[in-house]
Structure 1
Amino acid sequence: MDYIEKFKNYTTKQTVNLIIKALGNTSDENLIRLTYAAERIAPKHKPKIGKVRKMFEDKAPAYFLAQKALKEIHPNVRDKMVLNFMINYILLGPKNRENFEKKEGIPCPATIVISPTMRCNLKCTGCYAGDYSKKDDLPLEYV
């Protein structure tokens, strides 16, 4: 990664950090205004951001979920969650995965889930995690 790319990544992270700090106590109007700022930061995602703005304007269920998350989740957790999802997954992730694929010759998955025990005691209907025994556990040295 060259210096210009590193600088772009740094400034994007700093801009999103400033936006994140304002999210906790922002009004509905400002939340909608932030979607316009997000379109300038990530023009490639303009159609998706527009859909999010429309949900906010229409007060769709996703709007209430976002409001609840922004107001009730601890600020440190909220900030990290938004930063990781917005920056590392949506903005920088595709380019990083593309670079990895060019370098290694194989596609890089967007998400990797590691389930060391493959077991769960909740027994939810249709869930895979209740169907495994201790012999199916991932050895500790692999984790």
Structure 2
Amino acid sequence: MNLNEKFTTYAVGKTLSYIHKDPEKNLPKAVSLARKISPNAYSSQIDRIEEVINDPDNVFYKYIINMLDRIDEDVFDKTITNFMLNGVLFSEDLKRETREKYNCNVPWTILLDPTTACNLKCTGCWAAEYGKSLNLSYDEIDDIINQGKDMGIYFYIYTGGEPLVRKKDILKIAEKHNDCEFLIFTNSTLIDDDFVD
């Protein structure tokens, strides 16, 4: 992480701490600050965010306030850091360099199917057609994420089968790559207290 990235991470951390104190009052101030310090290239994104933040009746505003109220502060802050900073801001130059070097598109996310196995047999689900034997090993999943990060990709979506059939490996990967954001499409039946902790 270079000096600019360290400063930005520090500043975002301080801003999030400020927002958590009184989200409804401080969120508009944080967006106003972002407008002042962000390059003009981000002005249209800030316009959209500002439009949401200044309308308490907006469904996205309600969603953001609800998240700030209900989600653990550390989890919320880590999500913002991994998704917005690592996944969008800091990795953009690397994505551009990779696009130019290989003359290809670099996606903003990678979808991974760690397994075709599922603990349910839902009518109409494609997973039943593939059986339970197709699995990526821990090392293969780790390698995919390492390759993705080498291209500037810090957002990964687990699909399946049921990804939580492999929850021990998924947690190990998340701990190892704690600079990435992970989303899991799950039927939720395998979520237990240990997984939540």
Using structure 1 for the length normalisation, give the TM-score. Answer: 0.78
RMSD: 2.7
Between Structure 1 and Structure 2, the one with more strand by share is: 2
**Aligned position for 1:84:** 82
SS in 2 for 1:24: helix
**Aligned position for 2:14:** 18
**Aligned position for 1:33:** 29
**Aligned position for 1:54:** 51
Structure 2 residue ranges without an equivalent (≥5): 142-197
For residue 113 of structure 1, the aligned residue among 111, 114, 125 is 111
Deviation string, structure 1 residues 65-116 (Cα, Å, up to 9, x no partner): 1011112111111110111122112211222211233445543321112221
Deviates more, 1:105-114 or 1:73-82: 105-114
SS in 1 for 2:115: coil
SS in 1 for 2:114: coil
Identity within the alignment, %? 27
Q: C-alpha distance in 1, partners of 2:137/2:77?
A: 34
Structure 1 residue ranges without an equivalent (≥5): none
Shift in alpha-carbon separation, 1:25–1:125, aligned structure 2, 3 A: farther
CA contact (8 A) 1:35 1:50 kept: no
Q: C-alpha distance in 1, partners of 2:67/2:123?
A: 27
Q: Partner letter of residue 48 of structure 2?
A: K
CA contact (8 A) 1:119 1:133 kept: yes
**Aligned position for 2:95:** 97
Deviation string, structure 1 residues 16-67 (Cα, Å, up to 9, x no partner): 1111112222242321111111223432222112111111212201111101
Deviates more, 1:87-96 or 1:128-137: 128-137
Between Structure 1 and Structure 2, the one with more helix by share is: 1
Aligned length: 139
